[in-house]
Amino acid sequence: MKGRGMADEPKVVNADPTKTFFISMLVRDISLVPAIVDLVDNSVDGARRLRPRPAPTEASETASDSPRFEGLWINVRTTEAGFEISDNCGGIPWEIARDYAFRFGRPDDAPASPNSIGQFGIGMKRALFKLGSAFSVDSSTTGESFLLKVNVNEWAKTKKWVFPDVTYEAKETSLDACGTVIKVKPLHPSVSDTFTETRFRNNLTLELARAHQATINDGLAITLNNVPINVNVQTLLSTDQLKPARISETLDADTDRPVHVEIVAGIDVSSPADAGWYIYCNGRLILGPDRSEVTGWGEGKGKTLPQYHNQFARFKGYVFFESADVEKLPWTTTKEGIDQDHRVFRAVRPRMLEVARPIIDFLNALDSEKDRPPRDVISLETVVASAEKSGAVPITSVGSSDKFVSPPRTPAPKKPQTQSIQFSRPIAQINAVKKKLKVSSAREVGEKTFDYYFRRECDDSDE
């Protein structure tokens, strides 16, 4: 009977997920700093939802002198006892929270959140599980509020994949008071210890500034333990003689979710540490400054684009990918790198090389003129010094240009190949020749005796 019963069972294999996988295993794929940056990403998404970017065709009509995110803020607090992130970025709509935001993975029927940076459905939960064993989410929009509390250890014991401890209230809230507060307490012991380290706070500050440089430049205020996160304004030198390249393209233009691409590149003040390409997806820095083959340095074994070295320390290039469909953006799930095989990146990378080539040629000419300053035209070094004196301009102020523009230069003729000659002779003989030639060094003795022999014994055709 037993054998017959087993034979009647459907032949399927169990592929159910386990909660332990999400609570204990998935968190190992990300370290503490990027996990917290993931939570900041969710607040930034709220800001982008609250103040969507105008479509390119509408941008000129709706242009404003005020930064896009002016007045919006995100505060992050890390203490030995707990973690908290709060914002005034519009709150999480209850429908989004109930049906999508806390799901593990992004459901196919989830509504589009235009130009989001957090739509993989992983980041927030992974970060909360990594930080501690209990958390709460308190959020208000203009029409409703909810408070969610989760004890992770108790939730892990249940079979249902729901968070049942929710308080919902339909109530009006003024727009400037709408936002979200997430608290994690107690922290895991290792997290609590790390939060006391100055090095951790410094690293988190640097990463927040790096990842959200463009958004902070656009007016969003982010603080860590009440200290503002400051970033340098992205700039390029721009004058009548030095004009950065700025091109815009649209991929998948015939679809309802195209990918808008903008490339801005030129020269800035010399800084070996900051030179290279910076790549953003929906405003989030994914890569940069990059000076590797990923962005074309050394392409064609150095013939298409050279390997990076400090002669190119003035090079700065920015690539901005924007799309309502995150699947069309070339980022990894941890947002810490480029998916080099992504079709969008593969389509744009050749354009990056085309834009970079004239800038590299200019920097080569600039370096060449240091040895042989031009006599009939103003030197490139003078042109650059004048541009630096005028001051670099924010890249948002750079006008459209198909290519980098600089003073024209005829390529310098190639220097003849040379080779050193080295030999030894008695010092007395060398001193005698020095006296005869009226020179003071052994090197001059060698050069002048060689020139003497060459003039007397070699035809011009041999030169």
Banded model confidence at residue 167, pLDDT cuts 50, 70, 90: very high
Q: What pTM, to 2 d.p., does this model score?
A: 0.73
349 within a domain of the structure (yes/no): yes
Same-domain status, 338 and 383: yes
CB 179 within 8 A of CB 140: yes
Q: Tokens 């706070």 — which residue?
A: 201
Highest mean pLDDT among 153-162, 403-412, 424-433: 424-433
57 domain residue, yes or no: no
Residues 372 and 440 grouped into a single domain: no
pLDDT exceeds cutoff 90 at 83: yes
Sheet of 145-151, strands arranged across: 166-169, 145-151, 134-140, 179-184, 83-87, 73-78, 221-224, 227-228
pLDDT, tens digit, 9 for 90 and up, residues 23-61: 777 777 778 999 999 899 989 989 988 988 765 555 444
- pLDDT, tens only, 362-388: 999 999 888 777 777 888 999 999 999
Is 403 inside a domain boundary? no
Q: Chain-wide mean pLDDT for the chain?
A: 87
How far is residue 277's CA from residue 319's CA, in Å, rounded to a whole number? Answer: 8
Window from 108-112, 181-185, 297-301, 374-378 with minimum mean pLDDT:
108-112
Percent of the chain predicted with pLDDT > 90: 57
Q: Assign 417 a pLDDT band (cuts: 50, 70, 90).
A: confident
Instruction: Give the model's pLDDT for residue 62.
Output: 46
153, pLDDT greater than 50: yes
Per-residue model confidence (pLDDT) at position 375: 77
Whether residues 217 and 82 share a domain: the answer is yes
pLDDT at 407 over 70: yes
For residue 361, is pLDDT > 50?
Answer: yes
Position 4 pLDDT exceeds 70: no
- Asked whether residue 220 falls in the same domain as residue 280, the answer is no
Same-domain check for residues 44 and 193 = yes
Domain boundary, last residue among 228, 258, 280: 228
My answer on whether 99 and 195 are in the same domain is: yes
Give the pLDDT score at 77.
97
Does residue 451 share a domain with residue 320? no
pLDDT of residue 462: 45
* Model pLDDT for residues 248-295, shown as the tens digit of each residue: 999 999 998 899 999 999 999 999 999 999 999 988 899 989 999 999
The angle that helices 442-457 and 427-437 make with each other, rounded to 10 degrees, is 70
Say if 368 falls within a structural domain.
yes
Task: Tell me if 135 is assigned to some domain.
Answer: yes
pLDDT of residue 66: 75
Q: 93: closest CA among 164, 168, 182?
A: 168
pLDDT, tens digit, for every residue of 84-101? Answer: 999 999 999 999 888 888
In a domain, 406, yes or no: no
Please check whether residue 4 lies inside any domain of the structure: no
- Note the Cα 437 to chain centre separation in Å: 62
For residues 81 and 221, membership in a common domain is answered with yes
Return d(Cα 428, Cα 92) in angstroms, integer.
91
Judge whether 463 lies within some domain: no
Same domain, 35 and 162: yes
Q: Residue 61: its pLDDT value, please?
A: 47
Q: What confidence tier does 106 reach under pLDDT thresholds 50, 70, 90?
A: low
Domain span including residue 376: 235-397
Banded pLDDT at 340 (limits 50, 70, 90): very high
What is the band of 63 on the pLDDT scale with cuts at 50, 70, 90?
very low
Q: Say whether both 31 and 168 belong to one domain.
A: yes
Would you state the pLDDT for residue 110? Answer: 61
Among the candidates 355, 378, 397, a domain finishes at 397
Q: What is the CATH number of the domain that holds 319?
A: 3.30.230
Number of domains in the chain: 3
Stronger pLDDT, 404 or 371, i.e. the higher one? 404
288 and 215 in a single domain? The answer is no
> Residue 104's domain is classified under what CATH number?
3.30.565.10
Q: Are residues 256 and 204 in the same domain?
A: no
